């Protein structure tokens, strides 16, 4: 069961997301599993605007996993170059493309792929198929550790359970809003004056 504050946060966040969610190429509807995966794979440790600058070109040149498997690693590195981590990412993508002709649709199977961890696996499946999976990155951790400071757990495993509980049926809309809220409002230096959660956010209550 969710607490009153948790339920309220869910509703408030979904509402916030409807008006404030950011638009990116990889968030368009009808994106395939592969297309969303490539975006999430690139988005780790990389600003979204940088990814947006190379994403369409990359998909044009590498529309499928098969195209990656047939390309030279040098060409792949060149396409990823502006994002950074090009050697790591190109190597991992080559490995993935030579091992599989299609991406798996179970989080556990995705996580067996090189450089694909919990975040990329869950984000990919949630944003593609609306799967009710927890998406937990530093933004989300920062948001929950403030709003629910008194109940937010210590260990990563418990944090994942906590995050899972709060994902509503509208999983995609919720998790996208959560990421954007962490990036735009509940930043490292939080913009509490324009936050919807002031009445129940433990961080705000305690700092007021």
**Cβ–Cβ < 8 Å for 88, 73:** no
User: Binding to DNA by residue 189, rule CB under 7 A?
Assistant: no
**Cβ–Cβ < 8 Å for 117, 107:** no
DSSP 8-state code for residue 154: S
Among 40, 179, 169, CA closest to 103: 40
User: Binding to DNA by residue 85, rule CB under 7 A?
Assistant: yes
Written as six digits, the tokens of 161 are 């359970």
| Residue range at the interface with DNA (CB under 7 A); choices 29-37, 64-72, 148-156, 166-174 | 148-156
User: Binding to DNA by residue 137, rule CB under 7 A?
Assistant: yes
Instruction: Rank residues 19 and 154 by Cβ distance to DNA and give the closer one.
Output: 154
Q: How far is the CB of 4 from DNA (least distance, A)?
A: 29
Of 24-63, which residues contact DNA (CB under 7 A)?
Answer: 44-45, 47, 50
Backbone angles phi, psi at 8, to 5 degrees: -70, -40
User: Binding to DNA by residue 69, rule CB under 7 A?
Assistant: no
Q: How far is the CB of 19 from DNA (least distance, A)?
A: 23
| Near DNA by CB under 7 A: residue from 121, 133, 195, 201 | 121
User: Binding to DNA by residue 161, rule CB under 7 A?
Assistant: no
**Cβ–Cβ < 8 Å for 92, 111:** no
User: Binding to DNA by residue 120, rule CB under 7 A?
Assistant: yes
Cα 36 from chain centroid (whole Å): 10
User: Binding to DNA by residue 116, rule CB under 7 A?
Assistant: yes
Q: How far is the CB of 86 from DNA (least distance, A)?
A: 6
Among 131, 176, 134, 177, CA closest to 153: 134
**Cβ–Cβ < 8 Å for 156, 119:** no
Q: What angle do CA 33, 139, 171 make, to 5 degrees?
A: 45
Q: How far is the CB of 116 from DNA (least distance, A)?
A: 6
Give the residues lining the site for DNA (CB under 7 A).
Answer: 44-45, 47, 50, 83-88, 92, 111, 113-121, 137-139, 154-157
């Amino acid at each position: 069961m969710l607490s009153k504050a948790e339920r309220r946060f869910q509703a408030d966040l979904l509402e916030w997301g409807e008006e404030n969610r950011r638009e990116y190429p990889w968030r368009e509807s009808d994106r395939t599993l592969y297309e969303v995966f490539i975006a999430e794979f690139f988005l780790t440790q990389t600003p979204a605007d940088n990814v947006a600058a190379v994403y369409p070109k990359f998909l044009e040149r590498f529309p499928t996993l098969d195209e990656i498997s047939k390309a030279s690693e040098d060409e792949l590195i060149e396409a990823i170059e502006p994002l950074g981590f090009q050697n790591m990412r190109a190597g991992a993508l080559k490995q993935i493309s030579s091992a599989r002709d299609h991406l798996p649709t179970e989080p556990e199977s995705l996580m067996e792929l090189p450089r694909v961890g919990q975040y990329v696996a869950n984000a990919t499946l949630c944003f593609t198929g609306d799967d009710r999976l927890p998406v937990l990155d530093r933004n989300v951790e920062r948001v929950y550790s403030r709003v629910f400071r008194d109940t937010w757990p210590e260990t990563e495993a418990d944090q994942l359970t906590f995050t899972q509980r709060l994902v509503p049926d509208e999983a995609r809309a919720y998790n996208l809003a959560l990421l954007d809220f962490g990036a735009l409002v509940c930043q490292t230096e939080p913009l509490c004056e324009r936050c919807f959660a002031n009445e129940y956010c433990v961080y705000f209550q305690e700092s007021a």
